Amino acid sequence: MSKIISLVCGVIFGIGLTVSQMIDPAKVLGFLNIFGDWDPSLAFVMIGALIISSPFFHLFKNNNKPIFSEKFSYSQTKEINKKLIVGSSLFGAGWGLAGLCPGPAIASLALLNINSAIFVVTMFIGFYLVKLSEPTTQAR
Amino acid sequence: MNIVNFTPISAFLGGSLIGLAVIIFFVFNGRLIGISGIASNFLTSKDNRFDNFLFLVGLIIGPIVYKIFTQQEINITISNSVYLLAVAGLLVGAGTRIGGGCTSGHGISGIGRFSLRSIIATITFMIVGILTVLVKSLV
**DSSP state letters, A37-50:** EE-THHHHHHHHHH
Nearest to B93 among A9, A10, A125 (CB): A125
Q: Which residues 47-66 of B have a C-beta within 8 angstroms of A?
A: 50-52, 54-66
Q: How many helices (H) and strands (E) does chain B have?
A: 6, 1
Angle between helices A82-98 and A25-32 (to 10 degrees): 120
Q: Which residues 69-98 of B have a C-beta within 8 angstroms of A?
A: 74-80, 82, 84-98
Residue A134 has pLDDT above 90, yes or no: no
| Extents of the domains making up chain B | 8-138
Q: What does the pLDDT read at residue A70?
A: 87
Q: Determine, for residues A140 and B100 on separate chains, whether the beta-carbon distance falls below 8 Å.
A: yes
* Average pLDDT of chain B to the nearest whole number: 96
Q: Is A117 on the interface with B (CB under 8 A)?
A: no
Q: Which residues 14-53 of A have a C-beta within 8 angstroms of B?
A: 14-27, 29-30, 32-53
Nearest to A119 among B75, B88, B105 (CB): B88
Nearest to B108 among A29, A46, A106 (CB): A46
Q: Is B119 on the interface with A (CB under 8 A)?
A: no
Q: What does the pLDDT read at residue A138?
A: 54
Mean pLDDT of B86-110: 97
Q: What is the rounded CA–CA span in Å between residue B132 and residue B134?
A: 5
**Reduced 3-state DSSP string for A60-99:** HCCCCCCCCCCCCCCCCCCCCCHHHHHHHHHHHHHHHHHC
Shortest alpha-carbon distance between residue B68 and chain A (Å): 11
Q: What does the pLDDT read at residue A74?
A: 85
Q: Determine, for residues B99 and A53 on separate chains, whether the beta-carbon distance falls below 8 Å.
A: no
Q: Is A72 on the interface with B (CB under 8 A)?
A: yes
Per the confidence metrics, is the pTM higher than 0.80? yes
Size of interface A-B (CB pairs under 8 A): 514
In chain A, residues with a C-beta closer than 8 Å to the C-beta of B64 are: 110
Locate the chain A residue with the closest alpha carbon to B34: A140
Q: What does the pLDDT read at residue A136?
A: 59
Q: What does the pLDDT read at residue B40?
A: 97
Report ipTM for this prediction. Answer: 0.97
pLDDT in tens, A85-107: 999 999 999 999 999 999 999 99
CA distances from B123 to A91, B8, B70, B106, B120 (A): 12, 21, 35, 10, 5
Shortest alpha-carbon distance between residue A136 and chain B (Å): 11
Shortest alpha-carbon distance between residue B16 and chain A (Å): 5
